[in-house]
A and B are shown apart, each in its own frame.
Chain A
Amino acid sequence: MRTRGWFARIALVLGLVFLYVPIVSMIVFSFNNSRLVTVWDAAHSPTLRWYGVLVHNEQILTAAWLSIRIAVTAASAAVVLGTLAGVALARFGAFRGRLLLAGMVTAPIVMPEVITGLSLLLLFVAMAQLVGWPRGVGAVTIALAHITFCMAYVTVVVQSRLAGFDESLEEAAMDLGARPLKVFFRITLPLILPAIASGWLLAFTLSWDDLVITQFVAGPGSSTLPMVVFSKVRFGVTPDVNALATILVLLVAAGIGISTVWMRYQQRRRERDLQLAAAANL
């Protein structure tokens, strides 16, 4: 054992404790039998009681299903719009209104959420009066609002990917006879697909746990999961919220685990290919 590095080890332990003790305690308490969140009922724990309560809680299940539908819709629409904006900003050089678009498209990232939410609500109300759509606030307006701010993040991700991307690839395709639209679908799109995928995941996550903007544009009967959790917590944390959160944490952890393994595999394959190429050097 090396005796050096005790400082690094202490820092590591403290960091992990700081980050994960709240989550671990939440997971532990989700198996607590007591109705009181802070009292550990040693006699009857651990138990899956609250998980059972959860799957029969119609309100939470409806909210979760709504959140998933909104997140998928918002992420997908934001990816299309964000990719278009990113390509326009990264590739079309200096066109009229470029600076305006660059500023506007990323504004939702820096704008306080309450302002975004309020302005969207005012817009939807005005639109409903002028053109009769969207009718009232609800799932549709939540999705529209989420598309608006998710698009900004996708644009930034796609744009930065395109900025680090050899433009001569597109020129080469054009040189070989492909028209601009074909160049986009055969060359540009496949190559920025990883950025688009991570943009989609980012947008999904943002939409999934957005609370502030959603509060403004939600209506009766369109409560998303974060809204339900938040309203439950206001009356004191109930153990079934712990169970719900535990399930979410496990899902996220599984997702991260799978992607890490996949990336490791890709990396190793790539290294092997590079070695092969170097060996075959002639």
Chain B
Amino acid sequence: MSSQPTPAAAPSAAATPDAAHYVRIVDVSKKFGDFTAVDHVSLDIRRGEIFCLLGGSGSGKTTLLRMLAGFETPTTGRIEIEGQDLSRVPPYERPVNMMFQSYALFPHMSVEKNVAFGLEQEHLGRDAIRRQVGEILEIVKMSGYGARKPHQLSGGQRQRVALARALVKRPKLLLLDEPLAALDKKLREHTQFELLNIQQRLGVTFIVVTHDQEEAMTLGTRLGVMNHGRIVQVGTPSDIYESPATRFVADFIGSVNMFAGEVCANGADGLCIRSADLGCTVRAERAAGGAHGATVWTAIRPEKVQISRTPPEGAEAAGGENLVAGAVKEIAYMGDTSIYLVRLDSGSMLRVTLPNVLRGAERPIAREERVWLSWHGSSPVVLTE
């Protein structure tokens, strides 16, 4: 990917800490015995962005976050913020704060005391502490709750207090470990937008770790997808969704129909792939590379497939490219969309998502009905690994 960082050639002292290299993770690895949790990760984080590290459990995202916070020391590599090497700096001396997944509010202290804890360590005056605590509680809309103990708060309120406590020291970098995982769905959406709002107001750089792709997509200005301790792809949410770099990313983010095939032509009008699994020839307009006869995978998102009872117009002219037929096997009604599982004539299954635009359509497609499936030439993504 274009945004893949290059390893730092210049020594850190000489490097100018510009906005694009605000936080630099340079060739960082972490081993626990024989197990490599983080494997040669290099990453640049821009000033003021929300960077989401997305990955399944055991992908190394949490270990990377803990190294940024200082709870783990990298086995190799460097972590820099504004050009300052922090790899060996203990957590209590880093200009970095963290919001824990469990929130980790001190149960024996009131909300005010919790938020003030970080400022007290800086030996600020009592008035300055009280003023700053008041300000930050105002920002997270928890002004009236200063005297409460954490167990007297609801989940959403605890989350705000945890955020306030982490932000009150004005860290150069705020780390958020699954910030919304403990909230229920409705509250989550609301909090998501509020989090964005607060981040923009304070201009603090956020790094968010999450396994929830929806959370990552809505929060992140950029995402880094991790697998087996490596960063697989870095990009904006739409980059990653529309142009996944590998089969893993395509499969991990959203759902996808993936079919193996062979390159049969590589012309100006795109790549032509013959797929026995799919039972048709795929023309991918926005795909480059792929030698004749090479095995590749085509990935088609379910919402980019059209479904119809008759072959779409112009299909004959295209010579049956990007067109397959099959029988509907399952229909799942989701309210806003419906998911159709279609068994193709080749025997493979294809997943199609359609928005339910009309209320009570006149004759919906039923199970076992024969349908034609087609997609635009710009839709297929061709993957080689």
Cα of A177 to Cα of B166 in the assembled complex, Å: 11
Query: Beyond A174-B92, A177-B121, is A281–B154 a contact (Cβ under 8 Å)?
Result: yes
Contact of A277 among B90, B92, B104, B153 (CB under 8 A): B153
Contact of B106 among A173, A174, A277 (CB under 8 A): A173
Whether A166 contacts B151 by the Cβ 8 Å rule is no
**Most chain A Cβ neighbours within 10 Å, of B96, B104, B152, B157:** B104
- For residue A61, CB closer than 8 A to chain B, the reply is no
Contact of A273 among B106, B151, B165 (CB under 8 A): B151
Q: Which residue of B lies closest to A270 (CB)?
A: B151
- Binary B-proximity of A172-201 (CB < 8 A = 1, otherwise 0): 111111110010001100110000000000
Whether B118 contacts A168 by the Cβ 8 Å rule is no
Contact of A171 among B104, B122, B165, B187 (CB under 8 A): B104
- For residue A282, CB closer than 8 A to chain B, the reply is yes
Total count of chain A residues near the partner, CB < 8 A: 26
Cα of A166 to Cα of B317 in the assembled complex, Å: 66
Contact of A173 among B90, B117, B122, B169 (CB under 8 A): B117
Q: Tell me the minimal C-beta distance from B206 to chain A in angstroms.
A: 15
- For residue B149, CB closer than 8 A to chain A, the reply is yes
Whether A172 contacts B156 by the Cβ 8 Å rule is no
- For residue B107, CB closer than 8 A to chain A, the reply is yes
Cα of A186 to Cα of B113 in the assembled complex, Å: 12
**Most chain A Cβ neighbours within 10 Å, of B91, B107, B149, B151:** B91
Whether B98 contacts A277 by the Cβ 8 Å rule is no
Whether A168 contacts B122 by the Cβ 8 Å rule is no
Total count of chain B residues near the partner, CB < 8 A: 33
**Most chain B Cβ neighbours within 10 Å, of A173, A174, A182:** A174
Q: Which residue of B lies closest to A178 (CB)?
A: B121
Cα of A182 to Cα of B156 in the assembled complex, Å: 29
Q: Which residue of A lies closest to B66 (CB)?
A: A171
Cα of A2 to Cα of B298 in the assembled complex, Å: 72
Query: Beyond A169-B104, A169-B106, A171-B104, is A177–B154 a contact (Cβ under 8 Å)?
Result: no
Chain A positions within 8 Å of B200 at CB level: none
Whether B151 contacts A175 by the Cβ 8 Å rule is no
Cα of A178 to Cα of B90 in the assembled complex, Å: 11
Q: Tell me the minimal C-beta distance from B34 to chain A in angstroms.
A: 15
Cα of A106 to Cα of B304 in the assembled complex, Å: 66
Q: Which residue of A lies closest to B116 (CB)?
A: A176
- For residue B108, CB closer than 8 A to chain A, the reply is yes
- For residue B155, CB closer than 8 A to chain A, the reply is yes
CB contact list, B56-99 vs A, under 8 A: 69-71, 90-93, 96-98
Query: Beyond A175-B92, A191-B107, is A281–B118 a contact (Cβ under 8 Å)?
Result: no
Contact of A282 among B70, B104, B122, B157 (CB under 8 A): B157
- For residue B384, CB closer than 8 A to chain A, the reply is no
**Most chain B Cβ neighbours within 10 Å, of A177, A182, A187:** A177
Chain B positions within 8 Å of A173 at CB level: 106, 117
Q: Which residue of B lies closest to A276 (CB)?
A: B152
Whether A274 contacts B151 by the Cβ 8 Å rule is yes
Cα of A175 to Cα of B166 in the assembled complex, Å: 9
Q: Can you report 14 A-B residue pairs in the complex whose CB atoms are below 8 A from each other?
A: A169-B107, A172-B98, A173-B117, A174-B92, A176-B165, A177-B169, A186-B117, A191-B108, A273-B149, A273-B152, A276-B152, A277-B152, A282-B154, A282-B187
**Which 6 residue pairs spanning A and B have beta carbons closest together?**
A177-B121, A176-B118, A172-B104, A281-B154, A168-B104, A273-B152
If A169-B104, A273-B151 are given as contacts, then 9 extra A-B residue pairs at C-beta distance below 8 Å, sorted by A number, are A166-B104, A171-B100, A175-B70, A175-B91, A176-B92, A176-B97, A176-B121, A178-B117, A277-B152
